[in-house]
């Protein structure tokens, strides 16, 4: 008596198959009856891909083969066993034949008990692998098409700052304010570690919170917040609303770049967790008036990124020939300008307040929703629907979010810069010139100066609006 194991598999929904479980079972039963094979069991994997062997039915069958209760494995079609050439040959040679178990595929009309059948297994496995590769290629092309059309392809797990609704990324206002604050904190010189501790202590997200320093780094490097989608290393314009500006993103990336370069020069490592600190007085303030790119300090000069091409991300016009400035010379010119600045000539700009502070989002609806959720959680606890520790943890998370939103709503609108602010910043800057810390000097300049435009020998220092 030949003891047979009938293996049945149907693929996942995204691979259109014409072999239902009932159809395969019926044909396998008829074959075994005609060949006088006693069916030990039907091993069925419904909704599993043939791209790997991690299938419960297949693994159970392999266990029974090792136990010696099966003489022959029968499938309706070779690709029901596997679509991978490597896996097919491994199963037949290492699992079936090694345990003196024959393999039969009734659709191809051969079995491994004959030399011809063993040769055909290898040939047909090649075509099964080809079909799998073609399916993968079509699937990949579909994902590229989605990216080109601006659709996020990360599935339902939307990045912090967005929700995934009807196939699109939609701004989650509470998380978006967290992302903006994270970028601003890092851009003003806070370390990656301190940013993580701050975000972890202050905020919660739909995924629970800022659970690791790696999460913080990934958010700070993710182009999705610029309104972009990325697939296979290429960026495409997304359909979703950006959360941060290109300028802020570029400043953050430049900090990562400069920090890693400095660390590599000293230790040979490619990344450092130490704080980023600018090495030049005017870093992040100078722009090229010819092409619009930033200037950066290197090898004793302030140079346009487009001219030096040190980082392709910041190149705007590869043919830009704007003049390089010696760091000491340009620093001296700006210092002279600031120390001799006459604030009496400055006139307040009536639009400065409006430009400086955009309208704050209204979180009152979200706060009301949080109150309702807390009430429902308390009701669930009273009827014994959820354990107290789960209720408590969820209520604490909601309370943390509500407190943060309430603080934002109740916080007074920051006032625009005044003449007194500029005078104080100038006085502090002058007092720091002799022996002050570079970062303190830079802080004073960022209060005073909006940007510095360079056009060869022409320098245009644009002050902050008051």
Q: What is the pLDDT of residues 180-221, one digit of tens each?
A: 999 988 887 788 888 899 888 888 888 888 988 899 999 999
| R_g (Cα) of the chain, nearest Å | 33
pLDDT greater than 70 at residue 94: yes
Q: What CA–CA distance (Å, rounded) separates 58 from 65?
A: 10
Stretch 369-384: mean pLDDT? 77
Stretch 241-264: mean pLDDT? 74
Quote the pLDDT of residue 40.
94
Strand, helix or coil at 58?
helix
| pLDDT interval class at 269 (50, 70, 90) | very low
Quote the pLDDT of residue 372.
84
Considering the entire predicted model, what is its pTM? Answer: 0.46
Quote the pLDDT of residue 418.
74
Quote the pLDDT of residue 107.
86
Q: What is the pLDDT of residues 438-462, one digit of tens each?
A: 877 887 888 888 889 999 999 999 8
| pLDDT interval class at 284 (50, 70, 90) | confident
Q: Given this structure, which CATH class describes domain 162-267?
A: alpha beta
Q: Map tokens 């009536």 to a residue.
A: 350
Count of CB atoms situated within 10 Å of the CB of 153: 12
Count of CB atoms situated within 10 Å of the CB of 89: 14
| Tokens found for residue 188 | 């003003």
CB of 463 within 8 A of CB of 353?
A: no
Least confident of 47-56, 77-86, 388-397: 388-397
Count of CB atoms situated within 10 Å of the CB of 459: 16
Average pLDDT of the chain, as a whole number = 79
Q: Which CATH number fits domain 2-145: 3.40.50.1390, 3.20.20.60, 3.40.30.10, 3.40.190.10?
A: 3.40.50.1390
| Stronger pLDDT, 93 or 242, i.e. the higher one | 242
pLDDT greater than 60 at residue 105: yes
**Which among 11, 49, 259, 283 is annotated as catalytic?**
11
Query: In 3D, which of 53, 28, 22 has the Cα closest to residue 104?
Result: 28
Is 82 an active-site residue? no
| pLDDT interval class at 361 (50, 70, 90) | low
The domains of the chain are located at 2-145, 162-267, 286-355+417-463, 358-410
> What element of type H or E holds 364?
helix 364-382
Q: What is the pLDDT of residues 116-145, one digit of tens each?
A: 776 766 666 666 566 566 656 555 555 665
Backbone angles phi, psi at 458, to 5 degrees: -85, 130
Quote the pLDDT of residue 397.
80
| pLDDT interval class at 262 (50, 70, 90) | very low
| Tokens found for residue 54 | 């991690």
Quote the pLDDT of residue 216.
92
Query: In 3D, which of 458, 463, 464, 461 has the Cα closest to residue 290?
Result: 458
| Stronger pLDDT, 13 or 106, i.e. the higher one | 106
């Amino acid at each position: 008596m030949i003891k047979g194991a009938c293996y049945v598999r149907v693929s996942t929904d995204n691979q259109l198959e014409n072999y239902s479980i009932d159809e395969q079972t019926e044909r396998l039963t008829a074959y075994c009856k005609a060949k006088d094979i006693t069916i030990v069991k039907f091993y069925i994997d419904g909704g599993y891909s043939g791209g790997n062997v991690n299938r419960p039915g297949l693994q159970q069958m392999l266990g029974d083969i090792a136990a010696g209760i099966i003489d022959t494995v029968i499938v309706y079609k070779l690709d029901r066993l596997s679509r991978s050439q490597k896996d097919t040959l491994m199963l037949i040679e290492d699992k079936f034949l090694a345990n003196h178990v024959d393999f039969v595929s009734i659709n191809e009309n051969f079995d491994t008990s004959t030399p011809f059948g063993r040769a055909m297994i290898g040939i047909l496995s090649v075509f099964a692998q080809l079909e799998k590769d073609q399916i993968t290629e079509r699937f990949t092309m579909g994902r590229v098409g989605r990216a080109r059309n601006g659709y996020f392809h990360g599935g339902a797990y939307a990045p912090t700052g967005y929700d995934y609704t009807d196939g699109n990324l939609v701004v989650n206002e509470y998380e978006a304010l967290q992302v903006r604050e994270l970028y601003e904190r890092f851009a003003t010189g806070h370390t990656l570690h301190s940013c993580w501790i701050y975000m972890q202590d202050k905020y919660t997200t739909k995924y629970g919170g800022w659970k690791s320093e790696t999460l913080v780094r990934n958010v700070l490097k993710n182009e999705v917040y610029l309104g972009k989608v990325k697939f296979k290393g290429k960026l495409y314009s997304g359909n979703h609303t950006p959360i941060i500006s290109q300028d802020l993103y570029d400043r953050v990336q430049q900090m990562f770049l400069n920090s890693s370069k400095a660390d590599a020069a000293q230790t040979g490592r490619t990344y450092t967790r130490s704080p980023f600190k600018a090495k030049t007085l005017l870093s992040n303030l100078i722009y090229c008036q010819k092409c619009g790119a930033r200037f950066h300090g290197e090898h004793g000069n302030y140079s346009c990124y487009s001219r030096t091409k040190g980082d392709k991300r910041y190149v705007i016009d590869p043919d830009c020939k704007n003049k390089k400035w010696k760091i000491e010379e340009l620093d001296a010119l700006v210092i002279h300008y600031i120390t001799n600045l006459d604030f009496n000539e400055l006139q307040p700009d009536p639009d400065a307040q409006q430009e400086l502070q955009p309208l704050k989002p209204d979180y009152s609806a979200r706060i009301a929703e949080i109150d309702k959720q807390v009430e429902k959680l308390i009701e669930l606890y009273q009827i014994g629907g959820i354990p107290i520790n789960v209720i408590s943890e969820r209520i604490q998370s909601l309370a943390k979010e509500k407190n943060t939103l309430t603080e934002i709503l109740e916080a007074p609108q920051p006032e625009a810069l005044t003449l007194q602010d500029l005078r104080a910043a100038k006085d502090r800057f002058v007092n720091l010139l002799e022996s002050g810390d570079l970062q303190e000097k830079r802080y004073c300049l960022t209060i005073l100066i909006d940007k510095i435009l360079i056009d060869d020998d022409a320098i245009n220092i644009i002050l902050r609006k008051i």
